[in-house]
Amino acid sequence: MPGCRRYLGSLVLALAACSAPDPQTALERLLEEAERAAEARDTGYFRDVVSEDYRDAGGNDKDRLIAMIRGYFLAHQSVEVLMRLQTLELRGEDAAEAVLTAGILSRSGGGLIGGFEGRLHRLELELVEVDGDWRLIGARWEGTPETFAGE
Sequential pLDDT tens for the chain (151 residues): 554 454 444 444 444 444 457 999 999 999 999 999 999 999 999 999 999 999 998 999 999 999 999 999 998 889 999 999 999 999 998 999 999 999 998 887 655 555 778 889 999 999 999 999 999 999 998 876 555 555 5
Tell me the pairing of strands 76-90 and 95-108. antiparallel
What's the Rg (C-alpha) of the chain? Answer: 19
Query: What does CATH list as the number for 22-150?
Result: 3.10.450.50
Which residues, 6 or more positions from 4, have their beta carbon under 8 angstroms from its beta carbon?
Answer: none
Q: Residue 114 in contact with residue 108, Cβ under 8 Å?
A: yes
- Residue 64: what pLDDT? 97
Instruction: Please tell me the predicted confidence (pLDDT) of residue 13.
Output: 43
pTM exceeding the 0.85 threshold for the entire prediction = no
What local confidence, expressed as pLDDT, does residue 61 receive? 97
Look at residue 114 in the predicted model and tell me its pLDDT.
58
**Long-range pairs of 122-128 with CB within 8 A, sequence gap ≥ 24:** 123/98, 123/99, 124/97, 124/98, 124/99, 125/97, 125/98, 125/99, 125/100, 126/95, 126/96, 126/97, 127/27, 127/30, 127/95, 127/96, 127/97, 127/98, 128/51, 128/94, 128/95, 128/96
* pLDDT confidence of residue 149: 57
